Amino acid sequence: MTTTPLALDSLDEAARGLLFTEARTANSFSDTPVTDDELRGVWELARWSPSMANSQPLRVLFVRTPEGRERLLGHMAEGNVAKTRSAPAVAVLAYDSEFHEHFPTVFPARGELMRGNFASMPGEAREGLAKYSAAIQTGVFMLAVRAHGLAAGPMAGFDGPGIDAEFFAGTTWRTHLVVNIGHPGVDPWFDRLPRLDEDVALAWA
């Protein structure tokens, strides 16, 4: 018995450019607002990301208010303060260290069993899985930002425990990346840096 293969659509060159080949990390932002609806739209796309056993450990705090921004700035590295202050929106990407509690919702066929299995793991091992899947989801989050015609400025220079104490005290969320979001400002891009050629990056078996 033969079956007809499922034909998937592919992105045209313009869409590939928007998401990949022409996309850049923004280092300055205009004062054009980013709306709550746009940010919800980013999440609506990002939440379809793959993750281990559909565990979905990624959590997002959108920092929107002047008060929230000032609280965040005190935990950013000096070189990231100015651009974080100027970005219309900032996303603090976190992972839920107790993601397994949601298995009855995200994997209903075996949710209770999986919740119990993961609960019995050492916390460090479970947290490693959360970080790994959240990292995969973070890549899709960046693409979702770009898909909305916005630029993303991911930053690793921050005090993660400080942000956790400031915003996530009493929760199981743990910060792993901060991302500025907005429309590019004046001279927003550094020069494009080279990419590795396939003879370095690819292997075939």
- Indicate whether 5 belongs to any domain: no
Give the pairing of strands 89-96 and 58-63: antiparallel
pTM over 0.85: yes
Q: Which segments in the chain show pLDDT lower than 70?
A: 1
CB atoms within 10 A of CB 56: 23
Compute CA distances 190 → 1, 25, 26, 27, 28, whole Å. 55, 8, 8, 8, 10
How far is it, in rounded angstroms, from Cα 171 to Cα 161?
Answer: 13
- The reported pLDDT for the residue numbered 12 is 96
Q: CB-based contacts of 110: which residues, under 8 Å, 6+ apart? A: 103
- The reported pLDDT for the residue numbered 2 is 72
The H or E element spanning position 178 is: strand 173-182
Q: Please write the tens of the pLDDT for every residue from 170-204.
A: 999 999 999 999 999 999 999 999 999 999 999 99
- The reported pLDDT for the residue numbered 4 is 82
Domain range for 113 is 25-182
- Indicate whether 55 belongs to any domain: yes
What is the DSSP track for 12-80? Answer: -HHHHIIIIIT--B-SSB-S----HHHHHHHHHHHTT---GGG---EEEEEE-SHHHHHHHHTTB-HHH
- Indicate whether 202 belongs to any domain: no
- The reported pLDDT for the residue numbered 142 is 97
- Indicate whether 11 belongs to any domain: no
How far is it, in rounded angstroms, from Cα 55 to Cα 100?
Answer: 7
How far is it, in rounded angstroms, from Cα 161 to Cα 122?
Answer: 21
- Count: domains in the chain: 1
Q: Please write the tens of the pLDDT for every residue from 10-29.
A: 999 999 999 999 999 999 99
- Indicate whether 73 belongs to any domain: yes
Give the mean pLDDT of the chain: 96
- The reported pLDDT for the residue numbered 91 is 98
CATH number of domain containing 40 = 3.40.109.10
